[in-house]
Amino acid sequence: MNTTASGTGHPKALYVLFMAEMWERFCYYGMRALLTLYLIDTLMMGDTVAFAIYGAYTALVYAAPVLGGRMADQLLGYRNAVILGGVLMAIGEFLILGNHLVPSISADSWLYIGMGTIIVGNGYFKANISSIVGRLYDDSDPKKDSGFTIFYIGINIGALLATTVCAEVGNIYGYEYGFALAGFGMIIGMLFFIFMGKVIGGEEMIRENAAPPDREKLRAPWIGPLSRFHVTVVLSLLIVPILYYLLVYNEVVGWLLAAIAILVIGNLLSVAFKSDRVQRDKIIVLIILMFFNITFWACFEQAGTSLTLFAERNVDRMVFGWEMGAATTQFFNPFFIMVFGSIFSWMWIALDKRGLNPSIPMKFGLGILQLGIGYLMVIVGGWFSIAYLLPLWTLTLLYLFHTTGELCLSPIGLSMVTKLAPKSMTGTVMGAWFLSFAGSNYLAGLLATLTGGASHEGGGEAVALTAAESLATYTDVFSSIGFVTAGIGIFLIIISPLLNKMMHGVK
């Protein structure tokens, strides 16, 4: 059977995973685009409370793959984990709407229940579908980075559809309709994952690279008539009430993430120092780049919180007589991914052929530097403000630099994990990589509070800032982020030759 797509050199299985991931991201980003505005406008929460819930939710979304990856490595296999995760994510989106069926339970309670279910589902889905992509290629295959960039384009097609279709449906008809649409997107993604491989080819390759380590052990009766798979599903559902309370008492999440990080990093270091020098150095570089990854995403993930509220309060969003929704401004990032993703995919291969391909640490440094430049565009836009409203091109340029920075870092990071991780624990290490995203998202929620949320406390009451005060606050915070991250990016560029040496030929 021909497992390679004609004319591309990439496995057909990549395009099955591309479509599944595209619709999963439609689901996740559709919900994320609307979440902060839903918390503030519908549930009447203050900015600071909304930021804390958003930060805790997105942090837990990215922490969950630590467990999901390990379960796939040791028991479920990647394919089963992806299917279980997708089903739970779809259910979670519809549970958010539960107050329409059971109004005796408050809308915020249904939201927390739905969010908890999405977190568990994402834990199974996210790390493991990326692990399958990595297993489609040999480590020495120069098409591996290109394959991950193609996969990353699928992520951003889903995000583009989410931040336009879901965001505008939520803006015009009500946020609940946007959440429901996201749930239907996840169902479509699961149908693609289960059946598309049979149509175009690639199903056998996915099954081969995503099978459980012991199929008979997974399916055999274990506790009475229940198999280990059944028990895993039940225990997964029992985690949802715990996540409910973590979202309500979200300050606990920071301490929980710190504890998990210590355990995960300790486990990685234990493996490192039991391995030979080459594998030890690779794991140490992986850990170092995780911390730079946190820096990038803590600043990048302002898109769903402070940057969205900045767009709502201090950006002129009129386009030829039509006012763009504040959540819809998030579409710039996936749009630019669509524009530049293929160019970057081609560029890495072309540079590699000429011996000019930057090292992975160098790419990370360039990405963080561009992130900082993006935030400095707020200063430039301020020179052209009218009535304390910045022109829309300010956000356009900001997201443009954020996107080119992201393309230097994020798809390369996914590929890097599969290259540096020991083969026996790819899913576990991929989960650890997503733990760095968890930490960054939690920090992003805290970082957003520096904007003051465009309101301050006065006599126990939330007092709205004037447009002038709001713009001054956002400009001060965003420009500070810009200068600090640009400096961190330059520092990483300087030390990148040392880190590259420790990777022992991995490119």
Task: Give one DSSP letter per residue of 154-180, joined into a string.
Answer: HHHHHHHHIIIIIHHHHHHH-HHHHHH
Does some domain include residue 7?
Answer: no
Question: Would 349 be classed as within a structural domain?
Answer: yes
For position 366, what pLDDT does the model report? 95
pLDDT in tens, 426-438: 767 776 777 788 8
Task: Please indicate, yes or no, if residue 470 is contained in any of the structural domains.
Answer: yes
- Smallest Cα–Cα separation from 332: which of 307, 314, 313? 307
Q: Which of 215, 284, 257 is nearest to 77 (CA)?
A: 215
CA dist 150 and 130 (Å) reads 12
Sequence-distant (6+) residues with CB within 8 A of 138 are: 144
The total number of residues written for the chain in this structure? 507
Q: What values do phi and psi take at 458, rounded to 5? A: -145, 105
Query: How far are the Cα atoms of 174, 189, 275, 408, 506 from residue 140, in angstroms, in the given order?
Result: 49, 30, 21, 20, 8
Report pLDDT for 5: 56
- The domain tally of the chain equals 1
- Over residues 267-321, the pLDDT tens digits come to 888 888 888 888 888 888 888 998 999 999 999 999 989 999 999 999 999 999 8
3 in a structural domain: no
> How far apart (Å, rounded) are the C-alpha atoms in residues 212 and 202?
18
Whether the predicted pLDDT of 27 surpasses 50: yes
pLDDT-derived band at 444 (thresholds 50, 70, 90) equals very high
Range(s) of the domain holding residue 455: 12-502
User: Taking the CB of residue 317, how many other CB atoms lie within 10 A of it?
Assistant: 17
Q: Residue 463: its pLDDT value, please?
A: 57
- The answer to whether 212 and 76 are in contact (CB under 8 A) is yes
Report the interhelical angle of 107-135 vs 12-37 (nearest 10°). 160
The whole-number pLDDT of residue 464 equals: 65
The rounded percent of the chain whose pLDDT value lies above 70 is: 94
Does residue 116 have a pLDDT over 80?
Answer: yes
On whether the CB atoms of residues 59 and 330 are closer than 8 A, the answer is: no
Question: Is 506 strand, coil or helix?
Answer: coil
Among 225-234, 434-443, 486-495, the range of highest mean pLDDT: 486-495
CATH code for position 84: 1.20.1250.20
- 192-223 pLDDT, tens per residue? 888 887 777 667 777 777 778 888 888 888 88
Is 410 inside a domain boundary?
Answer: yes
* Residue 37 forms part of a structural domain: yes
| Residue 507: inside a domain | no
> Is 6 domain-assigned?
no
pLDDT value at residue 103: 86
